[in-house]
Structure 1
C-alpha cells in the first residue's frame, strides 16, 4: 500500500476448545503469512468480554490460544504475539473511533444482529461497538493487511470507512503535522487461496463449533492421536462411494466436508483428492484421512500440552510481545492526540 509499510494484523478470541476449523481457517494461514509479511498476532481478550466470561477460565483460554499459535509454528521472536488487554492503546483508540463512526454504520453490522438475537435491548454496548474496537486493533499499528473470513469482511469494510473518515475530518492537521495526505491506511483483506469452511463431523450442514454438545462433532487441537482417529472414523457419511468429480459432491454435505478437510490438511485442490480417491468407499478414504490428520495435528496437540503446562513461559512470551506492540501503538496514539488537539505529556 503506497506510503505505508506492509504489516499484517490478525486476532483470535480466547473462546476455549480450539478445533480443526480454527486451525485450518486461521492459525495455519498465520504460519504461512509470517514468511512474507511482518505480522502482529493478538489474542483479543477485550473482544471476549463483550459477552459473559468466567474470569477463572479466561486466563487459561488466553494461554491456550497463545500455545496454539506457537505449537502450529508461529515464531514469537520474528512476529509480535500478545494479548490485547496488555496494550491500553487499543481501548483508547477505540474510544476515538467511537466518536468517528456513525450509529447507522454500526446498526448495519449483521454480526451484532446475529449475536444479540431478539433481545437487543439487553446486549452490551461493547457488543454493539465491537467493530470500532476491531478497527482500533488494526489501525493502532497502521496495519495494511488483515486476513479475514466471511464473517469479518463487513467489519473490515467498516475499519476502512473509519480510517477514511478520520483522515478526511482531520486532513488539515494531518498535513500540518507532516503526516502527508492521510494518517491511517485503509487496510486490505488478505486472501490466501480458497477459504476453508470446516463443518461438523456429525452434520455437514452446520459449521464446526465448540458449542456443539457432541465432542464427536469436532476435532479439538488438544485431542491426542487415538481421539483424532476415533472421531474421523465415526464421522457421518453416506453409503455412496466418493465421486470422481466435484459436481458429484453436490447434495452430499458430509462427503464434501471430509474431502475439504483432506484437501486443506494436505494443501491441495479438492479435485485432486477426488482424482486419488474417486470410486473408493469411505472406509478406505477415512483410513487415509486418519493418517493425514494424526500426522498433522497430533504433534501440535502434544506441543500445546507441553506449553500450557508451563503458564509462566507463555506469560513471558505475551509480556514480551505486549512491550513490543505498545512501542508501536504508543507512537500512533501520540500522533492521534496531536491530530485531535489534545494536550499530552511531552
Structure 2
C-alpha cells in the first residue's frame, strides 16, 4: 500500500442539488476527475425519515447530474454507494474502532439526535462516512466546512486503526480548494444555499430550475437599501453573494464584477444571464439521461465494478489486520486450509 494522488467525494441525495452544489462540488469534480472516485451517497439518506420512491428518484437524478455536469465515466469512477458492499462492511470495522464520545460529539447528532424516533444510523453514520473515505486510498477529500469534522474523524480512526492493528489505511487530507465557493441563500444571505431546504424555498437556485424560475429567484434576491455597489460580505451580504456567484462563474473577482455593472438591477440581470447560461445545458443533459436511464445505469454499473475492485482489496486488508477470519475464497465457496484432507464417514443407522 502506497499513497497516491487520488481525489474522492460523495453527495447525499437528500434534496435537489443547488447552484451551491454545482459551484462547490460538481464543477470542481470535473476539474479533478482523472483516477478520482465520485459517488452518490444514497446510504447516508437512510439516517432520517424518507419516502423510498423519492429516494430512488433522487439517487438517479443526482447521478445524472454528475454526468450532465461534465464527469466522464471513462476518466473518473462514478457509482452509487449502495452498489459497493465494502462500504457497509468497513463501516462496522470502524464502528468497532471508534469511541462513543467521538460519535456523540458529531455536529449532526448533536443537532438532530436524542429525540424520540432518532435512528441509530444517525449516531453511527460518521463511521460509514469514514469508510467511504478510507476505502479508496484517497489522499485528497474535498468537503465543505460543515463536513470537515467528519474528515477529522476519518483521519483519527485511520491513525488509531493503523496504530492498533498495523498500517492499513492511507490517512487522507482535506483538499484546500474545497472551501473556495460558498453560495448563500438569496433570500437569507446569512445562511448557505442548502439542498435540504423546502422545494419551494425562494432563495435556493436548483440545478434543474428552468430559466424563468432562476430569473424570478434572482430578481427577488435580498440586497439592501443604500444603493452602493461595494464588496463587503459583513455589511452587504446580499450584494456580496451575487458578486461571488458571478465571480465564480466568470473567473473574475467580486470587485471586478461590481465594477462592471451600473446598479443593483444590472447586477441581478447579469447574474441571471450567467447562471442560466451555465446551468441550462446541464439541465437538458439531465433530462435526456433521466428520460431513458439505460445509458446512465450502464455507466454506473461500470463505475461500481471498478470501485469494488479497489474497495474490496482495502476491506480485505482491514479484515486481516483486525483479526477477522474468512473461510470463503474468491470463488465464493469455502476453501479448506492447506494440508486438509476430507474424511468421509458413513453413519450406520441401527436396524429398525
**Match status 1:229 vs 2:218:** no
1-structure distance, mates of 2:124, 2:178: 31
Out of 93, 96, 100, which is 1:103 matched to?
A: 100
Cα drift, residue 214 of structure 1? 3.6
Cα drift, residue 15 of structure 1? 1.6
SS in 1 for 2:97: coil
Q: Is the 8 A contact 2:229 2:239 kept in 1?
A: no
SS in 1 for 2:141: strand
**Match status 1:293 vs 2:300:** no
Which whole-Å deviations, capped at 9, do the CAs of 1:265-294 have from their partners, x for residues lacking one? 2232222223323xx211111121122111
- Cα distance change, pair 124–147 in 1 and its aligned pair in 2 (3 A): same
Please identify runs of 4+ aligned residues in structure 1 that moved more than 4 A: none
More helix by share: 1
Out of 50, 57, 68, which is 2:54 matched to?
A: 57
Instruction: Give unmatched runs, 5+ long, in structure 1.
Output: 172-181
- Cα distance change, pair 31–115 in 1 and its aligned pair in 2 (3 A): farther
2-structure distance, mates of 1:224, 1:122: 37
**Match status 1:267 vs 2:264:** no
Q: Is the 8 A contact 2:229 2:264 kept in 1?
A: no
SS in 1 for 2:177: coil
Which whole-Å deviations, capped at 9, do the CAs of 1:157-192 have from their partners, x for residues lacking one? 000000001101012xxxxxxxxxx22111100121
Q: Is the 8 A contact 1:50 1:126 kept in 2?
A: yes
**Counterpart in the other structure of 2:123:** 128
Cα drift, residue 337 of structure 1? 2.0
Which whole-Å deviations, capped at 9, do the CAs of 1:225-275 have from their partners, x for residues lacking one? 23222222222222333434x34x532221121112111222322222233
- Cα distance change, pair 134–269 in 1 and its aligned pair in 2 (3 A): same
Query: If the length of structure 2 is used for normalisation, what is the TM-score?
Result: 0.88
- Cα distance change, pair 78–303 in 1 and its aligned pair in 2 (3 A): same
**Match status 1:199 vs 2:184:** yes
Which whole-Å deviations, capped at 9, do the CAs of 1:182-208 have from their partners, x for residues lacking one? 221111001217532222222222322
Q: Is the 8 A contact 2:19 2:205 kept in 1?
A: yes
2-structure distance, mates of 1:203, 1:27: 23
Which whole-Å deviations, capped at 9, do the CAs of 1:111-162 have from their partners, x for residues lacking one? 221232xx44532111111111011011111211100100111110000000
**Counterpart in the other structure of 2:235:** 251
SS in 2 for 1:302: helix
2-structure distance, mates of 1:242, 1:41: 42
**Counterpart in the other structure of 1:174:** none
What is the number of residues matched between the two proteins? 327
Q: CA RMSD in A?
A: 1.8
Q: Is the 8 A contact 1:219 1:228 kept in 2?
A: yes
Query: If the length of structure 1 is used for normalisation, what is the TM-score?
Result: 0.89
SS in 2 for 1:237: coil
Q: Is the 8 A contact 1:242 1:255 kept in 2?
A: no
2-structure distance, mates of 1:196, 1:220: 16
Instruction: Give unmatched runs, 5+ long, in structure 2.
Output: 330-352
**Counterpart in the other structure of 2:20:** 21
**Match status 1:155 vs 2:141:** no
**Match status 1:342 vs 2:324:** yes
